[in-house]
Structure 1
Amino acid sequence: MTVEEADMRSSSRGDLRALSRWISAIGILPVLLTVLILGMCIIDPRFSGVANVTNILRNASVLAIVAFGQALVLIAGGFDLSVGAIVALASEIAAVTMRWAGTAFPEQDALIIALGVGAALGTGILVGLVNGICVAVLRISGFIATLGSMSVTLGIALIITNGIPVYGLPQSFITQFGRARWFEFPSAAYVAIAILLVLAFVQRRTVLGRYLYAIGGNSEAAIVSGISTRRYQIAAYVISGLLAAVTGLLLTALVGSGQASFGGDLMMLQSIAAAVIGGVSLHGGVGRFGMVALSAIFLSILSNALNLLRVDSRIQPIFIGVILICAVALDEIRRRRTVHD
C-alpha cells in the first residue's frame, strides 16, 4: 500500500467518524425526515403542493398533541393506552353537548361552543384522573390500568350514540376553527405549537417538569428525596387525558361531527410511535417534546407519501410497526450502553 492510499483511507475513516458524530449529535430522525421530503419532492410533484402540505401539517398537529400527552406519561415512567378512546369520547361528548345547547340556547354560538369545549376537556381530565389514581394510589400497572380504562371509555362512547355520528354543531365552530387557515397554516398547527411551547417551559423551568423526569428516571430515589410521586404521576395522566380531549375537539371541528371512530387503536399506536421514535424512553426519565413534534411530522409525511404512492392501506401499518420496533431496539441499545459506561 502506498503512502497516498494510506492517507486516503485514513481520511475516509475520519470523514465517516465525523459523519457518525454529527448524526449522533442531531439524531437520526432529522436525517430520515430530510431524505423523505427530498425524495418525495422528486418522485411526486403533488407532494409539495399547497393543499397537500396543509393536509400534512393538520394531521401532524393532531398527532403531535396526543403524542405530547403520551410522552409526558412515558417520561414519568408510565404508559397510557387510553388516549385514543379519550379522543373518541371527548368528540362525542362535545358534539352531544353542543347539539343540546343549540336547542337550549339558540343563536348563542359562543355559549354553545364554550359548553361543548368545557364538557370535552372535563371528560379528558376525568378519565386521566381515574388513570392516575389507579396507577399512583392503587399501584396498578399503567399498562393494565389504561388498558381497562380504554375499554370502558370506548364502550361508553359507543353506547352514547350507538356509534352514529353526532351532527348539529355551530357552523362557526367548524369554519372558523376546525377548517380555518390563519396565514395559510391550519388552525390545528397553532394549537400544537402553543402546547409545545407550554410543555417545553414546563419541562425546563418548573418543578413539575423536573420531578416527572426524576420519577421516571428512578422512582425510588425520587421518593427518598422527598418527592410526592403520587401527585406528579396523577398530574401526568391528567395532562395526557386533557391533551387527548383537545385532539378530539380538533377532529370534531374539522369533520363537523362527533364520532366514536375517532381515536381507537390506531391513534394509540401512533401516539406511542411518535413518542418513542422521537427519543422518549420506554424506561422513563428521557425525552424532549420538540423531537416528539418532529416525529409526528415524520409519521404524517410517511403516511401521506404512502398514500401518494398508492400503497395498499392494509400494508401501511406494517411500516409504522417496523419503525416502532427499530426505535425501541435503538432505545434499548442506548440504555445498555449508558449502564455499561
Structure 2
Amino acid sequence: MTIEQAAPRDPQTQSQLLVRLFLSIGVLPILLVVALVLFSLMSDNFFTFNNIANVLRQTSYLTIVALGQMIVMLTAGFDLSVGSTLAVTSVTSALGMAAMAAGYPDQPWLAIAVGAPIGFLCGLAVGVVNGLGVALLGVSPFIVTLGMASVGFCAALYLTSGTPVRGIPYEFADTFGSGGFWGLKAPVWAALILAIAVYVLLNWTRLGRHFYAVGGNLKAAALSGVHTRLTLFMAYAVCAGLTSIAGLLLTARMETGEANIGTSMPLQSIAACVIAGVSLRGGTGNVPYVVLGAVFFGVVENGMNVSGTSSYLQIGVTGAILVFAAVADEFRRRLIGRRSL
C-alpha cells in the first residue's frame, strides 16, 4: 500500500485515544510533564542535578506527610492536625536532646537516642487522640483533628514561649539533615523507604485492604468482618507516626526545635493527595501518584522561585492548580462511571 492509498486517521479515533490516555493515567502526569518543560524553558538552572536534588529534598517532608494523609483519606477522613504534629515533634525532641546534651556533652548519640523517641511519641500521641475521637467516640474527623491542631500548636508554643529550641547535637543535624550519599540527602532516602513501606502496607497486608474497604463502604466492611473501629484508629495513628518522622527530619534540617513549622502542611498534604487522585469520599488512591503529587508541588514552587516569580503569585498558582486538578479528577471519575454502565 502506497502513502497516497493510505486512509487518513479518523479525528474521532484520535480523540478516543486521548480520552483513553486521560482515563488511564489521570491529569497529574500530564501536569508534571508540562511543569518540567515550562520551567526548564524559563530558567537554565532548573534542570541541573543540584536543583533537582534540592527539589527532592524540599518535597521529601511533604511526601512523608502526604503518605500519612493518604491513609486517613482512604478511610473517608482527613487529618488537619498534621501541622501541629510536626510542631509538637520538633519541640519535644529538641527539648529532650538539648537537656541530655547539656548533662552529657560528650555523648551526643545518647542525647539523640533519648530526645528523638520522645518527640516521636509525643507526635504519635496526637494521632492516638484523633483515632480515639473518630473511631471510639464517632466524632467528625474535621472537628477532632481541627481541635487537636489548636491544642498541638498551643502546647508547642507554651513549651518554647515562641522561641526556637537550641542545643541540639551537631551529629543529629549532620546525619539526618545534611547527610546522605549519591548526591541525595538523608530526607530523600527516608521518604523513598517510607513510600515503599506504605506501598507494601496498603497492597500486601490485611490492614491495608481494610483501609480501602472502610473508605469504600463502612457498613459493608463491618458486615464482611472488618474491625472498622480499629482500622479507623490505626489510620490516624499511622498518619501521626509518619508525620512525626517528618518532624524529626525537619528538626535535623533546621538544627532547632520550632513551634511554628507545619502551619501550611495540612493544606499542602491534602492538596498533594487530591491532585494525585485520592478521593475525598474514601476508598481510592495509590502511593506512586501521591509521591508524584508531592513532587509536583515541589517542582512548581521551585520552578517559580528559580524563574523569579512573585511569592504572591505562587500562592494563587498553587490554589488554581488544586482546583483544576480536582475538577479534572471529578470529570475523569464521571467518564469512568459512564463507560462502566
TMscore range, shorter length: over 0.9
> Equivalents in 1 of 2:182, 2:336: separation in Å?
45
AA aligned opposite 1:321: G
**Residues 1:101 and 1:187: Cα distance change in structure 2 (over 3 Å):** same
2:172 alignment partner in structure 1: 173
TM-score, normalisation: structure 1: 0.94
**Structure 1 counterpart of 2:252:** 253
For 1:127 and 1:190, the matched residues in 2 are separated by 26
In 1, Cα distance between equivalents of 2:40 and 2:329: 31
8 Å contact 1:80–1:143 — kept in the other structure?
yes
Task: Report the equivalent of 1:85.
Answer: 84
In structure 2, what is the equivalent of residue 270 of structure 1?
268
Tell me, in whole angstroms, the C-alpha distance in 1 between the residues paired with 2:329 and 2:128.
29
Find out whether 1:29 has 2:28 as its counterpart.
Answer: yes
Q: Spell out the pairing of 1:163-312 with structure 2 (5 A cutoff).
A: 163-264=162-263, 266-312=264-310
Change (3 A) 1:201 1:316: same
Query: Which string of whole-angstrom CA distances, capped at 9 and with x for unpartnered residues, describes residues 239-296 of structure 1?
Result: 11111111111111011111112101x1111100011111100000000011000011
Cα shift at 1:20: 2.6
Q: Distance in 2 between matches of 1:69 and 1:279?
A: 15
- The CA distance in 1 between the partners of 2:323 and 2:134, in whole Å, is 26
Return the letter of the residue paired with 2:203.
R
CA positional deviation for 1:337: 5.0
Shift of 1:52: 1.7
Give the TM-score of the pair, scaled to structure 2.
Answer: 0.94
Distance (whole Å) between structure 2 residues aligned to residue 171 and residue 303 of structure 1: 29
**Cα deviation digits, residues 7-48 of structure 1 (max 9, x gap):** 54x533322322331232222211221121122222211112
CA distance in 2, matches of 1:206, 1:284: 18
**C-alpha separation between the residues in 1 aligned to 2:218 and 2:299?**
37
Alpha-carbon offset, residue 106 of structure 1: 2.4
Please give the residue correspondences for 1:103-118 in structure 2 after superposition, counting only pairs within 5 Å: 103-118=102-117
1:102-133, Cα deviation, whole Å (9 max, x unpaired): 12222212221111210111012111000000
User: Counterpart of 2:325?
Assistant: 327
CA contact (8 A) 1:94 1:116 kept: yes
Count of aligned pairs? 336
Partner of 2:139: 140
**Measured at CA, do residues 336 and 32 of structure 1 come closer, stay the same or move farther in structure 2, by a change above 3 Å?**
closer
Provide Cα deviations, 1:68-123, integer angstroms capped at 9, x if missing partner: 00010000111100001111111111111100011222221222111121011101
CA distance in 1, matches of 2:193, 2:49: 23
Cα distance, 1:338 vs. partner?
A: 5.5
Deviates more, 1:179-188 or 1:297-306: 179-188
Deviation at 1:224, TM superposition (A): 1.3
Corresponding residue for residue 120 of structure 1: 119
C-alpha distance in structure 2 between counterparts of 1:18 and 1:75, whole Å: 30
For residues 250 and 279 of structure 2, the distance between their equivalents in structure 1, rounded to whole angstroms, comes to 28
For 1:325, give the aligned amino acid.
V
CA distance 1:25–1:336, shift in 2 (3 Å): closer
Tell me the secondary structure at the aligned position of residue 310 of structure 2. Answer: coil
Question: Does structure 2 conserve the Cα–Cα contact (< 8 Å) formed by 1:90 and 1:124?
Answer: yes
- Regions of 4+ moved over 3 Å: 330-341
Paired AA for residue 305 in structure 1: G
- CA deviations on 1:154-191 (whole Å, 9 max, x unpaired) are 11111111111111111111112201131101111110
Structure 2 unaligned regions, length at least 5: none
Query: Partner of 1:69 in structure 2?
Result: 68
The question of whether the paired residues in 1 share the 8 Å contact of 2:26 and 2:332 is answered with no
Q: Which amino acid aligns with 1:280?
A: V
Q: In structure 2, how many angstroms separate the alpha carbons of the residues matched to 1:149 and 1:20?
A: 43
1:99 aligns with 2:130: no
Tell me the distance in 1 between the aligned counterparts of 2:311 and 2:44.
21
Assess if the C-alpha contact under 8 Å between 1:273 and 1:320 holds in 2.
no
**Structure 2 counterpart of 1:31, one-letter code:** I
Residues 23 and 336, structure 2, Cα contact 8 Å, conserved in 1: no
Structure 1: segments with no counterpart, 5+ residues: none
AA in 2 matched with 1:114: A
Q: CA RMSD in A?
A: 1.8
